[in-house]
Amino acid sequence: AVVTSSHSVYLQYIGTEALVLAAGNAGAKVVLRFRPGQFVLRGEALAAVYPKECVTMLDSVIRRSAKLGNHRTLTQDSEFGVAQIVEIAIRALSPAVNDTFTGLACVDWLGDVLLALAEKPPLEGNWYDLSGKLRVWMPAIRLERLVKHAFDLIRQAGAQNPAVLIHQLDVIRRLAPRMPAPAKQMLAEQARAIRDTEMSDIVALDRSDIERALQRARDVLNMGNNFWD
């Protein structure tokens, strides 16, 4: 049985402790269809309850545990934090502002964010009761997805800015040895995307600097498992 959303809103927060306790008392499992930060359309299934007979016991608990609102928040939404830094960067790199140094600072701090997340145990979205039974599941945010978000828009906004491309390659080089394999693979994809960027309008000296930065990143990505080829 499903619990639907009565409004179009953002899922801001999940009170997992209360939800696990209630699901355990009911002998049920709750499968959340969205994670904090995602937009839920009116009438969409917010959660599913197994077995369906338990939905009457859990409907109100699910609605209380799932905090909904008109805006995203940073409470359980790491992707939103990344998006805010990226937004500062792409505004700084816009032709109207043309503030390269702010864009480079954002690349630095995004590297720090990704490193902090890589050092934490990965969240798989599984929540268990004290007896070890799975009671609540929600979609997990993957580190490799955050890596993609941290690089894509800035790379596109700085496609003709050698300083931005070189700085991104430098962060890739420094992050790669400390990333798990899926995130390291995404770093390699970002480095290849920079390699494939159209650079006909960039002068030869700057293209040479980009090539050297690319080679340094490639050398690190090829250590151990070959993530480049």
CA angle 70, 81, 139 (to 5 degrees): 70
Give the per-residue pLDDT at 223. 77
CA separation (Å) from 88 to 75, 97, 181? 20, 11, 29
Res 225 pLDDT > 90: no
Q: What is the DSSP string of 123-188?
A: P-SEEE-TTS-EEEE-PPPPHHHHHHHHHHHHHHHTTT-HHHHHHHHHHHHHHGGGS-HHHHHHHH
Q: For residue 156, which amino acid is it?
A: Q
Over residues 178-206, mean pLDDT: 94
Res 228 pLDDT > 90: no
Distance between CA atoms of residues 171 and 85, nearest Å: 15
Res 105 pLDDT > 90: yes
Bridge pairing between strands 126-128 and 66-69: unpaired
If pLDDT is split at 50, 70 and 90, which confidence band does 224 have? low
Res 31 pLDDT > 90: yes
Contact 83, 64 (CB under 8 A): no
Over residues 166-190, mean pLDDT: 96
Over residues 166-195, mean pLDDT: 96
Distance between CA atoms of residues 155 and 190, nearest Å: 9
Q: Which of 182-186, 202-206, 224-228 has the lowest mean pLDDT?
A: 224-228
